[in-house]
Structure 1
Amino acid sequence: MFGRGPKKSDNTRYYEILGVPKNASQDDLKKAYKKAAIKNHPDKGGDPEKFKELAQAYEVLSDPEKREIYDQYGEDALKEGMGGGGGGHDPFDIFQSFFGGSPFGGGSSRGRRQRRGEDVVHPLKVSLEDLYLGTTKKLSLSRNVICSRCNG
């Protein structure tokens, strides 16, 4: 019948993006995604578009319901709303679920950061000779901490 239900379309692109066969296990998908995500991460000079494609492919193929729809009807069916789609998530969130943050350093603005305390300023007398020789000086500071036993 014309115009009824989703039409069949190419349903191998996501597998090609991840470099896995169509019958790949969840474990194989996870390994392939991890390897490709590290290689293509923008913080390591990778292509941001390729990274987004990898994340989208993994998001769909790692979800059994979305994978079944994708395998049966292709990418278009997911975009049309069957199975919740695959474009609304941040690819960095998927990456963080594996690695717990950016392993590349540099400080990403994503996620929670520990709040920094106030800067401590303390005068220290050093001579020009100390600076030239790279002399090390010890500095003792006292600070207030919360007691772990009584929270006081």
Structure 2
Amino acid sequence: MAARKRRIVGRLRDDTRGSVIIEATLVIPLIVIIFAGMTEWGLAMYQYHLLSTATSESVRQLIVSRGTATPLTYVNNAFNTWASTLGVTPSQVTVEIQDPTKANFAGWQTPACNTLTEAQCAAQIAKAAGLPARVSVNYACTMQFTPQFASLCPIKITMVGLVE
């Protein structure tokens, strides 16, 4: 009886049929998760690039728009042009001009320019020659596969330029 059990155990130990399917069931889910995470990270980097370009263009438009009646329209148009696929809303964008009574980025005028009317914002910018203007965007993206500690979301970008 013992010899028979040893033969059966020996035969099973030497039989490698089916081992590939077992290994595949262990490895393929890991490969799929890694690939999905890389794809998701790439999409988040693409969104970051679009938002960075749009923020840069919008601050450039803002600092050269002194004397125009619609500076906020210029800022929003920059986001609509450069990040149109992301659907950035004006409520996600903050436009601020430095308070002229404070130096070295110590304080920003309140309320923020984007909470005012176009005319009030244009008046703030008209008085801000040589002062910094700041455009910030806070975009809430979501990542499904990437752990929270490695996630890029939400994307927050701020750019500053001197009003001409």
TM-score (norm 1): 0.25
**Normalized per residue, which structure has more helix?**
2
**Normalized per residue, which structure has more strand?**
2
Q: Which has the higher contact order (CA 8 A, sep 6+)?
A: 2
Look at both structures and tell me which one has the larger radius of gyration over its CA atoms: 2
TM-score (norm 2): 0.23
